[in-house]
Amino acid sequence: MQKLKDEVSRLLAPRVSLEPAEVINLLEIPPEPNYGDLAFPCFSLAKIKKKAPPIIAEELYEELRNEEGLLWEKAVPRGPYLNFFIAPEAFSREVLQEIWTSGDKYGHYNLGKGQNVTIDYSSPNIAKPFGVGHIRSTVIGHSLYLIYRALGYNTIGINHLGDWGTQFGKLIVAYKSWGNESDLKEDPVNYLYKLYVQFHKLVEEKPDLDDEARYWFRKLENGDKEALDYWNRFRQLSMDNYELIYDLLGIEFEYYHGESHYNQMLDEVIELVQKKGIARESEGALMIDLEPHGLPPVMLRKKDGATLYITRDLAAAIYRYETFKFARSLYVVGAEQTLHFQQLFKVLELLGFEWTSKCAHVPFGLIRFKEGRMSTREGKIILLEEVLNRSIEMAREIIEEKNPDLADKESAARAVGLGAVRFGDLSNDRIKNIEFDWEKALDFSGETAAYIQYSHARICSILRKSDKKVNVWDESAGSLLVTEEEITLVKTLALLPDKIFASAENYRPSILARYLIDVAREFNRFYHNCPVLDSEDNLKKDRLLLISSTRQVIANGLALLGIEAPDKM
C-alpha cells in the first residue's frame, strides 16, 4: 500500500503543486470498494485553484487519462474525489512478494534505529494483589513495547513498582499491631492485602492510626533498620507473586525500578527545584504553585519531611533522560492520573528540560464492576490470576468439546485463554472505561482473539494437508488471484504496515487489534468461496501463497499484541 501511495503521490504532486509527502497525507481509502482503492480528495485544492472540487477531479482525470501506473490501472473521478483502481495482478504480486521476502518481519521497519523509547507500564503497588485493574497498563504497555520494537526502536520496559509511600507505613503498623508470622507465610500477598484493608476499616474509628502510619513511613525514609527490614520483606513477597503472573503472560521488563529506586536522588531534585526558584514553603511543606499555568499546586515535601509520589516521579523522569536519552518516554497509566502527569510535565518544563515534550502520558479508562468502582481499600477486587486461570480453563473445556483429538491441548488452551483476556482489553479504544463482566471476559465468539486464532489454525491445517509446498518465489506467483475475495484479501494484507504505524503513532494497539479482525473476516470469506486444495495446480499454488501470506500477517499482528497464534486449537 505504501508503494501504491508513493507511486500515486509522485504522479499527482507536480500537477497539484504539492510535495509528494503532502499528497500522501491527503490520500484516503474509499469507504466503498467499487469507488476505487485509493482516493485523492480535491477539497483542499478548491481554495487555491478557485474551482469546485468535482471540476478539479475531472481535470486531473483528463490530465492522467493517458498515464499508466505500475500498481494501478485506472483513475476515475467521482464527485470531488479522484479514485485510483489497483492493477490486481501487479498489486497482488507486489504485496505477496513483500510478505514472502519479509516473513515474520513483514510490517517491521527500521524507523527508530538507535533511538531509545522508555515505556513505564504495569507498575503494580507492592503489597496489593495484582487485580484485573492492572491488566490494562500491563497489556497495553507491553503491546506498545512490542510495536515500537518492531519499528526499530530500542524499547526499554520499566516496571515502576509502587514500592514506596505511606502505604508501607500503614502495612508496618498493621503488621506490628495485629499481624502474625504464620499467616504471612501461608499466603503472603493476600495476607498483606488483608492487613491493608483492615487498616482502612479500623482507621475510621481510630484516626490515630494514620499518624502512626505516617510516622513509620518517615522512619522508612530516614533509613530506620526495623522499618527497612519490614519493607524489604513485604516487597520481596509481593515480587514473587508478580513474577508468576508475568511468566504466565510472557512479559519481561528491562528494569524493575520501583519508586524506591529514586530515593537517593530526591534531595537533589528538591535542591534543583529550589535553585530554580519555582518552589516555596507553605505551612511547613514545600510546594510549587502552578496557578499561572492553570493547574493546582504541587506538593513536593510534606511538613513532616516525607516526600510524595510526584517528587519521586520527577526524579524518575530526570533519571530516565540522563540514563537513556530517550526519543520518547511513555507512561502507560490510568486516566485518573491525568492531572498528575500534567503537573509533572509542567514542572519538568519549568525546570528547563527541553526533553519534556518527548514525554507522554498514555491514559486508559478504568475497569469497573457492575456494582461500581473496584476499590482496593475496601477489599473489592478480582485477582488477575483468577481471571487468567478461569479463561484458560474455559478454553480447555471448549477445546475438549470441539477438538478432542488435539495432541497438545494445554498449550492451545493457554494461547486461547490468555489471548481472549488480552484481546478483550486491547481491541477497544483504551480511553473508555470497561465494565468487567465474567461472561464477556470468557466469551470466545465474535470479535475475539479466538476468531483470529481459529482462522490462523485453519490456514495451518490447509497448509499441512497440501501436497504442494510454497517454498520458492517465482515470476508468475500470485498472478491468478482474480476473484473479488482474493483481491480483497490481498488488499487487506497490504495494510499491516500502515496499521502498525498508526498504532504506534497514536499509542493505540486497538488499531492493530481491529485490523486483525478484518484480516480474519476477509480470510473466512475467501475460504468459503474459493477452494484451495481442490483447485487446478497453478491456481492452487497461488492460493496457497495467499493463505500462507495471510497466516504470516495474522501471526505477525498477534505477536505485536502479545498473543500467540497456535497451529492447532
Partner RNA sequence: GCGCCCGUGGUGAAAGGGAUAUCACGCAGGCCUCCGGAGCCUGAAGUCGGGGUUCGAAUCCCUGCGGGCGCACCA
Question: CA separation (Å) from 565 to 39, 337, 410, 455?
Answer: 34, 35, 14, 10
Q: Residue 85, Cβ neighbours under 10 Å: how many?
A: 18
User: Cβ closer to RNA: 93 or 361?
Assistant: 361
User: Cβ closer to RNA: 64 or 155?
Assistant: 64
Q: DSSP character for 117? A: E
Minimum CB separation of residue 290 from RNA in Å reads 10
- Which of 177, 429, 469, 484 lies at the binding interface for RNA (CB under 7 A)? 429
CA-CA distance, 341 to 344, in Å (whole number)? 5
CA-CA distance, 118 to 330, in Å (whole number)? 6
- Which of 27, 327, 360, 559 lies at the binding interface for RNA (CB under 7 A)? 27
Minimum CB separation of residue 228 from RNA in Å reads 16
CA-CA distance, 421 to 491, in Å (whole number)? 29
Q: 367 in helix, strand or coil?
A: strand
User: Cβ closer to RNA: 175 or 523?
Assistant: 523
How many residues contact RNA, by CB under 7 A?
99
Of the ranges 9-17, 88-96, 351-359, 423-431, which one interacts with RNA (CB under 7 A)? 423-431
Minimum CB separation of residue 327 from RNA in Å reads 20
Ramachandran quadrant class, 283 (left: phi over 0; alpha: psi -120 to 50; beta: rest) = left
Of the ranges 76-84, 105-113, 136-144, 173-181, which one interacts with RNA (CB under 7 A)? 76-84
User: Cβ closer to RNA: 152 or 365?
Assistant: 365
- Which of 129, 141, 165, 478 lies at the binding interface for RNA (CB under 7 A)? 165
Those residues whose C-beta lies under 8 Å from the C-beta of residue 17, and which sit 6 or more positions away, are 48
Q: Per rule CB under 7 A, is residue 25 in the interface with RNA?
A: yes
Minimum CB separation of residue 311 from RNA in Å reads 8
Q: Per rule CB under 7 A, is residue 33 in the interface with RNA?
A: no
Q: Per rule CB under 7 A, is residue 450 in the interface with RNA?
A: yes
- Which of 125, 137, 155, 238 lies at the binding interface for RNA (CB under 7 A)? 125
- Angle (CA) 469 472 477, round 5°: 95
Subset of residues 189 to 228 that bind RNA, contact rule: CB under 7 A:
214
- Which of 461, 468, 469, 473 lies at the binding interface for RNA (CB under 7 A)? 461
Give the ranges where 124-207 is alpha helix by DSSP (H). 135-150, 166-178, 181-186, 188-202
Minimum CB separation of residue 435 from RNA in Å reads 7
- Which of 458, 499, 541, 551 lies at the binding interface for RNA (CB under 7 A)? 458
CA-CA distance, 38 to 55, in Å (whole number)? 19
Q: Per rule CB under 7 A, is residue 434 in the interface with RNA?
A: yes
Of the ranges 85-93, 174-182, 233-241, 442-450, which one interacts with RNA (CB under 7 A)? 442-450
Of the ranges 89-97, 186-194, 318-326, 331-339, which one interacts with RNA (CB under 7 A)? 331-339
User: Cβ closer to RNA: 351 or 452?
Assistant: 452
CA-CA distance, 29 to 37, in Å (whole number)? 6
Minimum CB separation of residue 139 from RNA in Å reads 15
Residue type present at position 553: V
Subset of residues 235 to 264 that bind RNA, contact rule: CB under 7 A:
259
User: Cβ closer to RNA: 116 or 219?
Assistant: 219
Q: Residue 248, Cβ neighbours under 10 Å: how many?
A: 15
Q: What is the b/e burial string over 512-545, where b = at least 16 CB atoms within 10 angstroms of the residue's CB?
A: bbbbbbebbbbbbebbeebebeeeeeebbbbbbb
Subset of residues 269 to 328 that bind RNA, contact rule: CB under 7 A:
282-285, 287, 296-297, 299, 302-304, 306, 308-309
> Is residue 298 within a helix (H) or strand (E), and if so which, with residue range?
strand 298-301
Question: Any long-range contacts for 300-308 (C-beta under 8 Å, 24+ apart)?
Answer: 300/269, 300/270, 300/273, 301/270, 304/214, 304/218, 305/218, 305/221, 306/166, 306/214, 306/217, 306/218, 306/221, 307/221, 307/266, 307/270
User: Cβ closer to RNA: 97 or 403?
Assistant: 403
Q: Are 420 and 449 spatial neighbours (Cβ–Cβ below 8 Å)? A: yes
User: Cβ closer to RNA: 225 or 465?
Assistant: 465
Subset of residues 395 to 414 that bind RNA, contact rule: CB under 7 A:
395, 398-399, 402-403, 412
Minimum CB separation of residue 514 from RNA in Å reads 6
Q: Per rule CB under 7 A, is residue 39 in the interface with RNA?
A: yes
- Which of 9, 12, 64, 80 lies at the binding interface for RNA (CB under 7 A)? 80
Q: Among residues 271, 270, 291, 287, which one has the least CA distance to residue 279?
A: 287
Of the ranges 129-137, 191-199, 428-436, 556-564, which one interacts with RNA (CB under 7 A)? 428-436
Those residues whose C-beta lies under 8 Å from the C-beta of residue 373, and which sit 6 or more positions away, are 366
Minimum CB separation of residue 237 from RNA in Å reads 18
- Which of 60, 75, 83, 86 lies at the binding interface for RNA (CB under 7 A)? 83
Q: Are 103 and 119 spatial neighbours (Cβ–Cβ below 8 Å)? A: no
Minimum CB separation of residue 374 from RNA in Å reads 9
**Which set of grid coordinates corresponds to residue 43?**
477539497
Q: Per rule CB under 7 A, is residue 365 in the interface with RNA?
A: yes
Minimum CB separation of residue 482 from RNA in Å reads 16
Q: Residue 198, Cβ neighbours under 10 Å: how many?
A: 16
Burial class (CB in 10 A: 0-12, 13-18, 19+), 283: exposed
- Which of 81, 148, 242, 507 lies at the binding interface for RNA (CB under 7 A)? 81
User: Cβ closer to RNA: 117 or 544?
Assistant: 544
Minimum CB separation of residue 331 from RNA in Å reads 12
Subset of residues 491 to 530 that bind RNA, contact rule: CB under 7 A:
510-511, 514, 517, 521, 524-525, 527-528, 530
Minimum CB separation of residue 155 from RNA in Å reads 23
